[in-house]
Chain A
Amino acid sequence: MTTTASTDPHPTASSLMDPNPSVLHPSDRIGTAIGTIMEHRYRRLPVIDDEGRFVGVFGVSCLLRLMMPKAVVMEKGLESAPFVRESLADLHRRLEQVKDEPISLCMHEEMVRVSPDTPVLETLLTLYKNRASLPVVEPESGKLVGVISYFDVASHILEAEI
């Protein structure tokens, strides 16, 4: 009998993940990546190098970051800027200035990840703490082998017999 995540007594991250996620590459243009994100309404996508190694994520938070002045999004920058009056055109102008830059300019590199062997409870806890989908990365090779979303985990749990 084949063991699935819902029947496996000790499932791990590898049995819960989507093994064929959409991915980006560090050299992809910001404008192209924004188009992909907006079209499919992704919150964020993993970024891999030519050898398939996970190098970071690019998503809507990068998009928002690029639209705003660096002074408010940088580390130790302004905590708030209620005095600034900007138009939508001002925000768009900033995005236009970087649309031909590679996504490596803005991708988030310090990303929490799980390994394929991470037990289900630890995977769930990591998801809960980070509030976003998780890359599943082989510890030795650094290769991305899949992505786990809330919905992947929840659907497997709801399918499990009590």
Chain B
Amino acid sequence: MAHGTEVMDVIFGLDPRWYAGVLFCLTYLFIMSERINRAIVAMIAAGLMVLGGVLTQEAALQGIDFNTIGLLTGMMIIVAITRQSGIFQFLAIWSAKQVKASPWGILVMLSLVTAVLSALLDNVTTVLLVAPVTLLITDSLNVKPYPYLFAEIFAANIGGTATLIGDPPNIMIGSAVGLSFNDFLFNLGPIVALLLPAMLLPIYLIWGRHLQAGADARQRVMDYNEADAITDSRLLWQSLLVLALVITGFIFAHDIGQQPATIAMFGAALLLLISSLPRSPGDQSRQLEKIFSRVEWITIFFFMGLFVIVYGVERTGLLEMLAHRVLELTGGDATMTTISIIWASAVASALVDNIPFVATMIPMIENMGGLLGGPEALRPLWWALALGSCLGGNGSLVGASANLIVAGFAERAGHPLHFMRFMLIAFPLMLGSVAISTVYVYLRYL
């Protein structure tokens, strides 16, 4: 049923589609301008969607995907506790020493560590943990950190594409469509395994073959004692146990009839419990405050506001109308529609925040189901959206939150990643990865 048939009592008797559409476009513009924090923009726009009469409060709450919110928050809490053990520094240093501190070897190993961690945690957290160690290692090696940070941005966005929990677009798609952890792993894992070496090849040709470090510098890295990075071994084992349980839970979520948010939030609660047990009640409260302060509330509130805005637009029938227009343009052909989605998502995600883009695309694609032959026929479109929006983030410095985090570190370390210099190499590389993904999607699903 078209949502647009609902009767909406919009302020000043305005057309609901116009009111919601203009509000939506203004929200996008303000988010893109970055003049006002994106969470504030989303909250104001969500409020106007309700106050303006497009949604009731009950409808607005229905629009919020609490599965996405719960999954994000749960994983943020687990990572906030786990990072205190020093495991992430341990992994980075250990991997650098496995290649005898060879500059190119370290770049490959840190990219692999970043990709794997990004698949299991969110990208922002991963680069927050890996980038400072990278800067420390490159300082000891006396080499420029630029190629390392560039490769880590790519590895984070590519690695995050592989799983349900790796990147916010996947969390949103998985939650909205009911795709499981295994669905993402088996459908996107193979192409991610191919894209990672394909990305490292040009990086080797551009920078890698010129990377050199003296014997003294390499010895400085070899002298690092990774075991000393583990600052709390008890917490380390507790964290690894809970992380293993949570990942196992994600793998079997479908079989046990549970949603990922429940698994992540229960895992977070379990880790909070076992890590708090030896502490006094006062200590527990202080620890809890510290952990909760590390949850990225800006992201959480941004998501909640955004869900309300997109739900408001969807209820007016505007997205259904847009979906029909897109299908008219592609002639209703599934192959053409899928390829259009992967490329449009990639280019859009390179230039604007991929989270609002994906939030808008999900209901649009859902609306195509009836014309393309039902939910099963939409499967390739979901993988196209996930691949395009995750990989597209590599196209520019503003393409993904992880890129901006790395750029911030680089700036503070005195090695800024300039926007145009980054884009000149990153954008073509991103297009290459999308071309490979298009071939993959075509051969496997179309």
Contacts and interface: CB of A to CB of B under 8 A. Distances in A.
Interface of A: 69-72, 74-78, 80-86, 90
A70 B224 contact: no
The B interface is mostly helix, strand or loop, or mixed, namely helix
Contacts of A84: 136, 140, 224
B228 A70 contact: no
Contacts of B414: 70
Given A71-B413, A74-B409, A85 B225 contact: yes
B231 A70 contact: no
B220 A72 contact: no
A77 B135 CA distance: 9
Interface residues of B, number: 25
9 contacts: A72-B136, A75-B412, A76-B412, A78-B132, A78-B133, A83-B225, A83-B226, A86-B220, A90-B220
Nearest to A74: B412
A109 B353 CA distance: 33
Interface string B171-206: 000000000000000000000000000000000000
Contact of B412 (A70, A81, A86, A90): A70
Contact of A71 (B133, B224, B226, B228): B133
Contact of B229 (A75, A82, A85): A82
A69 B414 CA distance: 11
Contacts of A69: 135-136, 139-140
B89 interface: yes
Interface string B110-136: 000000000000000000100011111
Nearest to A93: B142
Interface in B131-150: 132-136, 139-140
Contacts of A74: 132, 135, 409, 412-413
Nearest to A85: B223
Task: Count chain B CB atoms within 10 A of each CB in A74, A83, A84 and give the residue with the most.
Answer: A83
B135 A70 contact: yes
A86 B140 CA distance: 9
Nearest to B221: A84
B223 to A, nearest CB: 4
B318 interface: no
B412 A82 contact: no
Given A84-B224, A85-B225, A86-B220, A71 B135 contact: yes
Nearest to A68: B139
Contacts of A71: 132-136, 139, 413
Nearest to B226: A83
Q: Which 7 A-B pairs have the closest CB atoms?
A: A71-B136, A71-B135, A83-B228, A74-B412, A69-B139, A83-B229, A70-B413
A90 B223 CA distance: 13
Contact of A83 (B128, B224, B412): B224
Contact of A76 (B128, B140, B226, B227): B128
B93 interface: yes
B441 to A, nearest CB: 37
B401 to A, nearest CB: 14
A89 to B, nearest CB: 10
Nearest to B134: A71
Given A69-B140, A70-B414, A77 B132 contact: yes
A82 B139 contact: no
Contacts of B89: 78, 83
Interface in B63-103: 89-90, 93
Interface in B206-245: 220, 223-229, 231
A86 B223 CA distance: 9
A146 B8 CA distance: 67
A82 B228 contact: yes
Contacts of A76: 128, 132, 408-409, 412
Contacts of A78: 89, 132-133, 136
A83 B229 CA distance: 5
B74 to A, nearest CB: 23
A83 B139 contact: no
A83 B409 contact: no
Contacts of A83: 89-90, 93, 224-229
Interface string B410-424: 001110000000000
Contacts of B228: 82-83
Contacts of B132: 71-72, 74, 76-78
Contacts of A75: 412
A40 to B, nearest CB: 29
Nearest to A75: B412
Nearest to B139: A69
A83 B87 CA distance: 12
B273 to A, nearest CB: 24
A74 B413 CA distance: 7
B135 to A, nearest CB: 4
Contacts of B409: 74, 76-77
A79 to B, nearest CB: 9
Nearest to B131: A71
A133 B229 CA distance: 36
Task: Count chain B CB atoms within 10 A of each CB in A75, A84, A85 and give the residue with the most.
Answer: A84
Contacts of B227: 83
